[in-house]
């Protein structure tokens, strides 16, 4: 379920507790406990005051995951192997 919350933050960066509760269908107490570990409340006024946003470290983990996927899909590694085979011993 934590993954589901993170994916919600990917689709929309700011959430109210009510919106998250409606999306996840989870009890308020559980939701607040998990939110405390993966997100932070926006304070200080402004249009997002009182809403929740994903903590920076979780945003960065997502970027690292995207980079790893890009590297796995990169065809340059195959080209390097072919060059090595052509040089030989």
Model pTM above 0.75? no
What kind of fold does domain 1-54 have according to CATH?
Arc Repressor Mutant, subunit A (1.10.10)
Q: Give the contacts of 31 (CB within 8 A, at least 6 positions apart).
A: 17, 20, 21, 24
Query: For the chain, where are the E strands, in sequence order?
Result: 14-15, 39-41, 52-54
Give the Cβ contact number of residue 52 at 10 Å.
Answer: 25
DSSP-derived secondary structure letter, 60:
H
- What is the per-residue pLDDT across 15-38, written as a single tens digit (0 to 9) for each? 999 999 999 999 999 999 999 999
Helix or strand or coil: residue 34?
helix
Q: What is the pLDDT of residues 62-87, one digit of tens each?
A: 555 555 555 555 554 454 445 555 55
Give me 89's structure tokens. 């011993």
């Amino acid at each position: 379920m934590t993954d589901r919350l993170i994916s919600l933050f990917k689709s929309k960066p700011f959430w109210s507790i009510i919106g998250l509760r409606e999306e996840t269908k989870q009890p308020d107490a559980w939701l607040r406990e998990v939110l405390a570990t993966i997100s932070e409340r926006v304070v200080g006024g402004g249009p997002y005051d009182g809403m929740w946003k994903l903590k920076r470290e979780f945003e960065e983990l997502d970027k690292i995951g995207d980079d790893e996927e890009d590297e796995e899909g990169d065809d340059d590694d195959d080209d390097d192997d072919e060059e090595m085979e052509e040089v030989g011993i």
